[in-house]
Structure 1
Amino acid sequence: MNVSKPKYLQVYDAIKYQIRNQTYQVGELLPAEAELCAVYKTSRPTIAKALNLLSNEKIVHRKAGFGTQVLPPQISALKVGLLIPQLTQTEIFEPICSSITECAHESGMHIVRPPELGRAVDFQKMAESLMNQFISMKVDGVFFTPVEYIQNHEDFNLRIIDRLGRAGISVVLLDRDVYPWPRQTPYDLVGIDNIEAGFMVAGHLIGNGCRRIGFVSEANPAMTVQLRQIGVREALIQNGFRARDLVNVSFDAADPKETVDALQQGDVDGVVCANDATAARLLRVLVDHGIRIPSQMQVCGFDDVKYASLLTVPLTSYQQPCGDIGKVAVNTMITRIQHPDRPAHRITLKGRLIPRNSSLHPDRVGAAVVL
């Protein structure tokens, strides 16, 4: 306890913390005032003052002759943090966070957003810093996107979740799990089905007549990218090809011509890129080297970022339902805080394919439809 605080506030903080970390469950009666006096070595009026403060905040309900009962959290009193250290690295996170903030506001929930992040930030240190801030602020929950591309990332992310849990803070994962598929952590997760997304994009190319599909990503791709790759392979199998027919090519920004050479050597006529950022750079290199898009090679990406339709060759992309992800994430968090013992839910939302010139037949170039 913080001895600089009045005794009743020390007791208030201690009991509130125990309610948040579920030492005292919703619906459970707190120990009698006499017992609390013994536990906290203080007087009955001091205990009563602390309990009245908790009652005024609707954390507990006091009734003479009955006792003090723990109430379900009130939505309007909830404070939830956004722990997304790599917010600036993937464009979809900003609209998802905006949707979370808007939906939370409508529900009366307060969202604590991280500070503006620079591109060169140490994401591991940023995650630890945000975690410590949220613990010290005693938030009720945290939306967490596990950190990628760091050493021992699984152990690091699990430590973050464990620390939050021990502080009584609920966690809802966004976009990705901590473990590689098919292993799953026992936490709520909201995102898209990346396998289904990869399946849809590859099926679009095969339906356009492509007979040799390539998958282009940076070296050591994220798990979400690997799942998209699994979906592409499944599309090949279900359309009479073999999984090993997929041509996997690493995109090296330092030597992009090597990527073009690998695609041409593999006779690739349809390319699925890991994301729009990779697709945009690849399109530029292909055009610079005289490859006609889409007549010689069709190209697709994922996420439908803002610039996808503005490229020299407008890019076909799988659009994530960012607004819906935010709405579902808020509802999932409210339910998790109010019902901490319920089984974890993994919610996958369906996106849509936005075909543009990069994968349309010549007689349809310029059209844009939604699938």
Structure 2
Amino acid sequence: MSVEKPKYLQVYDAIKYQIRSQAYRVGELLPAEAELCEQFNSSRPTIAKALNLLSQEGVVHRKAGFGTQVLPPQVEALKIGLLIPQLAQTEIFEPICASITECAHEAGLHVIRPPELGRSADFRKMAESLAAQFISMKVNGVFFTPIEYIPNHEEFNLAILERLSQAGISVVLLDRDIYPWPRQTPYDLIGIDNIEAGFVVAGHMISNGCRRIAFVSEPNPAMTIQLRQIGVREALIQNGFSTRDLRTVNFESEHPEAVVETLRREQVTGVVCANDVTAARLLRIMVDGGVRIPEEMQVCGFDDVKYASLLAVPLTSYQQPCLDIGKIAVNTMIARIQHPEGPTHRTTLKGRLVMRDSAPARRS
């Protein structure tokens, strides 16, 4: 004697068959629950139970206020790791990772963000531990941001890449490459065009009347910061200045007042900071030292972190398109997993300058 399946399993089987036979294609929304209730002559809890089961299997994705979307069968079981040891120390990575997580979820991927992504200062040990975890978990891909400011960082980062690659794990780099520009590793990379960013920031200051511009960064800056400095130099050249007109000033944490003294002595009127962190610290010293901003000096940063608008003098900053970086990173990862031998993709996105009181919009 056969036992009839529960109604929710009958609905589950029917919808799954429709999806597999492409009655509903990848990316399309299933009919609303009310329509499915009528179609299958079932109650709403029964329909919801069937859809939840399909969601748990990665066949569909349910989102309140959006609907139930059909997922690609190729990516329904993919696991992706975030290997960003300096996440807690670099604020810009938090919104990028949030975007990756959201976009990956919508595509049916499972993002693994281990608890080790904390505030430990031992980035080498953290990266090695995460790489080992991802390998043991047999993830399909890893988003990796190479570590900076450690001894022999190039060799260390290459060793991490080698371990992941030998385990058959696809890797997409975020924000930066391992080699100094213009050398490139044969891995996909997603980030902003830092040269263009520096060009835009310096061009804004020049259009505001700044004739003596300084680039302020910590000693031995990262490659991304060096690229921003290249963009600043190019803006000077294209506006009739010489590269010798650019002052480069190290921000020494132990003697921050010396930076302001140097800027005043050099009669600098426009200060381009390597990032918002440096700009925030410099602005504090400037305000305490009586520098009139923007009348005496204009200041710009990069990244437009969440506190940029909350400083004593709200900061003009080049905003990274974090949402778009996350979306493209996920799409790139899916393509890399599906086509591991495909050509390397390098995607550089354009951000925008957010103008505030430290370097306001062009004055007439």
Residue 168 of structure 2 is matched in structure 1 by 168
Q: CA deviation at 1:98?
A: 0.5
Amino acid in structure 2 at the alignment position of 1:220: N
Q: TM-score, normalised by structure 2?
A: 0.79
Residue 7 of structure 1 is matched in structure 2 by none
Distance 1:188 1:171 in 2: 7
Q: Could you list the runs of 5+ residues in structure 2 that have no partner in the other structure? A: 1-56, 58-71
Q: CA deviation at 1:121?
A: 2.8
Residue 158 of structure 2 is matched in structure 1 by 158
Residue 52 of structure 1 is matched in structure 2 by none
Residue 250 of structure 2 is matched in structure 1 by 250
Residue 218 of structure 1 is matched in structure 2 by 218
Q: CA deviation at 1:119?
A: 3.0
Distance 2:150 2:121 in 1: 13
CA deviations 1:298-354 (Å, max 9, x no partner) are 000000011100111100000000010000000000000000111100000100000
Q: CA deviation at 1:363?
A: 6.9
Residue 308 of structure 2 is matched in structure 1 by 308
Contact map agreement 1:295 1:362 (CA 8 A) in 2: no
CA 1:118–1:330 in structure 2 vs 1: closer, same or farther (change >3 Å)?
closer
Q: Which portions of structure 1, spanning 4 or more consecutive aligned residues, are displaced by more than 6 angstroms?
A: 361-364
Contact map agreement 2:190 2:346 (CA 8 A) in 1: yes
The number of aligned residues is 295
Partner-residue secondary structure (3-state), 2:146: coil
Distance 1:326 1:154 in 2: 25
Distance 1:232 1:73 in 2: 46
Partner-residue secondary structure (3-state), 1:191: strand
Amino acid in structure 1 at the alignment position of 2:123: F
Contact map agreement 2:116 2:130 (CA 8 A) in 1: no
Residue 228 of structure 2 is matched in structure 1 by 228
Amino acid in structure 2 at the alignment position of 1:291: V
Residue 109 of structure 2 is matched in structure 1 by 109
Distance 1:120 1:290 in 2: 37
CA 1:343–1:321 in structure 2 vs 1: closer, same or farther (change >3 Å)?
same
Distance 1:328 1:310 in 2: 30
Please say if 1:269 is aligned against 2:269: yes
Q: CA deviation at 1:89?
A: 1.2
Amino acid in structure 2 at the alignment position of 1:280: A
Residue 46 of structure 2 is matched in structure 1 by none
What is the RMSD computed on CA atoms of the aligned residues?
1.8
Q: CA deviation at 1:362?
A: 9.9
Distance 2:256 2:165 in 1: 44
Partner-residue secondary structure (3-state), 2:214: strand
Distance 1:258 1:292 in 2: 17
Q: CA deviation at 1:360?
A: 2.0
CA deviations 1:11-33 (Å, max 9, x no partner) are xxxxxxxxxxxxxxxxxxxxxxx
Q: Could you list the runs of 5+ residues in structure 1 that have no partner in the other structure? A: 1-56, 58-71, 365-371
Contact map agreement 1:294 1:362 (CA 8 A) in 2: no
Q: CA deviation at 1:261?
A: 1.1
Amino acid in structure 2 at the alignment position of 1:205: M
Residue 206 of structure 1 is matched in structure 2 by 206
Distance 2:88 2:363 in 1: 38
CA 1:181–1:363 in structure 2 vs 1: closer, same or farther (change >3 Å)?
closer
CA deviations 1:140-178 (Å, max 9, x no partner) are 000000011111111111111111011000000000000
Percent identity, aligned pairs only, is: 75
Please say if 1:88 is aligned against 2:88: yes
Contact map agreement 1:73 1:338 (CA 8 A) in 2: no
Distance 2:74 2:362 in 1: 57
Residue 292 of structure 1 is matched in structure 2 by 292
Partner-residue secondary structure (3-state), 1:357: coil
Contact map agreement 1:197 1:228 (CA 8 A) in 2: yes
Partner-residue secondary structure (3-state), 1:155: helix
Amino acid in structure 2 at the alignment position of 1:247: R
Q: CA deviation at 1:126?
A: 0.3
Residue 17 of structure 1 is matched in structure 2 by none
Q: How does 1:353-368 map to 2 (within 5 A)?
A: 353-360=353-360
Residue 344 of structure 1 is matched in structure 2 by 344
Distance 2:148 2:213 in 1: 27
Contact map agreement 1:83 1:114 (CA 8 A) in 2: no
CA 1:276–1:102 in structure 2 vs 1: closer, same or farther (change >3 Å)?
same
CA 1:186–1:111 in structure 2 vs 1: closer, same or farther (change >3 Å)?
same
CA 1:329–1:361 in structure 2 vs 1: closer, same or farther (change >3 Å)?
closer
Q: TM-score, normalised by structure 1?
A: 0.77
Amino acid in structure 1 at the alignment position of 2:173: L
Partner-residue secondary structure (3-state), 1:183: coil
Distance 1:77 1:362 in 2: 51
Contact map agreement 2:208 2:363 (CA 8 A) in 1: no
Amino acid in structure 2 at the alignment position of 1:338: Q
Distance 1:180 1:256 in 2: 28
Distance 2:105 2:139 in 1: 16
Contact map agreement 1:273 1:300 (CA 8 A) in 2: yes
